[in-house]
Amino acid sequence: MLDLAHLRDRNRMVDVQIARRGVRDRHVLDAMRRVPREAFVEPGFEEFAYEDGPLPIGEGQTISQPYIVALMIEASEVKPGDNVLEVGAGSGYAAAVMSQIADRVYTIERHPSLGNFARQRFKKLGYDNIELRVGDGTRGWPEAAPFDAIPVAAGGPEVPPALKEQLAIGGRLVIPVGEEERYQTLIKLTRKSDTQFEEENLGAVAFVPLIG
């Protein structure tokens, strides 16, 4: 049964927290209206699902605030027909949103328990164009490459070379980079050729550390 209260909250989240703060990509806004964020939070946190803040999901990890999810997907320029790799599946929410836009989403999570819960959510909600692997996200997913977009939901001191290698020509890699935990710069790399990447600074962010 459709929960009208959650649907109302979801539309308000998109209008107030995301569109009003500058996210303009129609694909992103529409996708976030369709995905039930309350299904991706820990039991007991459903009433907070549409507030503008991160929430705990276990293993010391969080589901990012809705605005950050939207910002990452818009910056990655995820489009219909795209082949996408996400590093850091977490609860599975961002992958679910991207699955409503892209042709195929591959997502990697290093915590087995989080990966299992995310898989269960995808199956329950009928998101059948997402594939999840438990492992080291810094190595990417070579068999499914090249990727048109690679959003990375964890910060590290540098861009993992394997992720750059697995980016298609014209592909976009968005990753928080910084030496300090929970204080990074969001970097966007666009692959111009086999050896050339264009770099753009998208501002300061705070993400969990990228382990690998």
- ω into 146 cis (within 30 of 0): yes
Q: Determine which one of 64, 76, 91, 99 is catalytic.
A: 64
Report DSSP state, residue 193. Answer: S
> What is the CATH code of the structural domain delimited by 4-205?
3.40.50.150
Interval 82-110: pLDDT, tens: 999 999 999 999 999 999 999 999 999 99
Interval 161-207: pLDDT, tens: 999 999 999 999 999 998 776 678 999 999 999 999 999 999 887 77
Q: What is the domain partition of the chain in residue ranges? A: 4-205
**Gap between the Cα atoms of 147 and 27, Å rounded:** 18
Q: For this structure, is 91 an active site residue?
A: no
1: pLDDT confidence band, cut at 50, 70 and 90? very low
